[in-house]
């Protein structure tokens, strides 16, 4: 068996979590991440039939039985992951009932997957049905995105339009727009189901006064989506009190969409 700490999926995940902490988005145990792994790849590092222990789940994941995920542990700090990946992360396989996670590696202190496992696994199920290449669900607490959710209309159209108006890249990176959920109790099946439903149409979902979810085919895509929202939200927060005079207009956004061939959400421009 090869050393799992040197597996490219592990190295990239640890680097990503370290970077998220460095950005100041994941205070304390804030944020969580799950990456769908290819069983053939995992088998180079682990006996995928050897279950360390079973962890019950409160929702039905029967459509992804047998799938294997690298998942951050609940209560674990992103800042510490690089120093002890096996303590802070786990590799789980969805067990036969679809209601249990079989631990294959990690959570060495007896820990468990993130409390947001419903949002992660239900979002994986949703995105895999849309795109078989989907792999990553990322949840983080970017400062300006949360700040914007405190002062801005939470209408998805209004929120997306403002993000698009702040910088050229926004509509290019997320032409479908950004979903927004009003404040809800986190860590529940309810918020997990609501998030997964939102991610049918978009790859980004803001949780008001909490954070954001982004999904992608790889870590870079999920991170890049969130990073672009956060940059636009920062521009908004920096300029809103001075009065925004030169935001990108609808007609300019349409020109941009035409040149870049963007399949943008037509309901969001006048």
- Which one of 106, 111, 113, 211 is in contact with Zn ion (CB under 5 A)? 211
| Neighbouring-strand partners of residue 137 | 34, 215
- Asked whether the beta carbons of 207 and 184 are under 8 A apart, the reply is yes
Q: How many separate helices (H) and strands (E) can be counted in the chain?
A: 11, 9
123 binds, among ligand 13P, Zn ion, none (CB under 5 to 8 A by kind): none
Supply the Cα-derived Rg of the chain in whole angstroms. Answer: 19
Q: Which of residues 137-156 bind Zn ion (CB under 5 A)?
A: none
Pairing outcome for strands 136-140 and 179-181: unpaired
Binding of ligand 13P at residue 29 (CB under 6 A)? yes
Binding of ligand 13P at residue 252 (CB under 6 A)? no
Binding of ligand 13P at residue 195 (CB under 6 A)? no
Binding of ligand 13P at residue 240 (CB under 6 A)? no
Distance separating alpha carbons of residues 183 and 186, to the nearest angstrom: 9
Per CB under 5 A, which region of 106-114, 211-219, 221-229, 240-248 contacts Zn ion? Answer: 211-219
Per CB under 5 A, which region of 19-27, 118-126, 205-213, 250-258 contacts Zn ion? Answer: 205-213
- Which one of 12, 18, 23, 30 is in contact with ligand 13P (CB under 6 A)? 30
Residue in the structure block whose two tokens are 């954001």: 212
Binding of Zn ion at residue 90 (CB under 5 A)? no
- Which one of 10, 14, 31, 102 is in contact with ligand 13P (CB under 6 A)? 31
The Cβ of residue 96 has, within 10 Å, a number of other Cβ atoms equal to 11
Burial class (CB in 10 A: 0-12, 13-18, 19+), 5: exposed
The residue ranges that bind Zn ion (CB under 5 A) are 211
The residue ranges that bind ligand 13P (CB under 6 A) are 29-32, 72, 74-75, 114-116, 186-187
């Amino acid at each position: 068996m090869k050393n799992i700490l040197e597996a490219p999926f592990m190295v990239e995940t640890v680097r990503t979590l370290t970077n998220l902490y460095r950005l100041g988005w994941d205070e304390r145990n804030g944020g969580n991440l799950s990456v769908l792994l290819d069983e053939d790849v995992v088998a180079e590092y682990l006996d995928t039939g050897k279950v360390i222990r079973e962890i019950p789940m409160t929702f039905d994941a029967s459509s992804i039985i047998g799938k294997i995920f690298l998942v951050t542990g609940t209560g674990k700090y992103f800042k510490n992951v690089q120093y002890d990946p096996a303590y802070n992360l786990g590799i789980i396989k969805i067990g036969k009932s679809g209601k249990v996670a079989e631990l294959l590696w990690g959570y060495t202190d007896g820990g468990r997957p993130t409390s947001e496992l419903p949002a992660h696994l239900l979002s994986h199920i949703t995105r895999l049905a849309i795109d078989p290449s989907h792999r990553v669900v990322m949840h983080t607490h970017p400062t300006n995105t949360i700040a914007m959710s405190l002062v801005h209309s939470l209408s998805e159209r209004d929120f997306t339009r403002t993000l698009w108006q702040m910088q050229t890249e926004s509509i290019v990176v997320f032409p479908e727009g950004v979903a927004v959920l009003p404040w809800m109790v986190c860590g529940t099946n309810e918020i997990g189901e609501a998030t997964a439903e939102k991610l049918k149409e978009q790859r980004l979902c803001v949780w008001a006064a909490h954070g954001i979810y982004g999904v992608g085919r790889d870590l870079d895509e999920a991170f890049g989506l969130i990073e672009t929202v956060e940059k636009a939200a920062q521009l908004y927060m920096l300029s809103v009190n001075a009065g925004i005079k030169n935001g990108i207009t609808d007609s300019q956004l349409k020109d941009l969409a035409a040149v870049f061939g963007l399949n943008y959400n037509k309901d969001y421009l006048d």
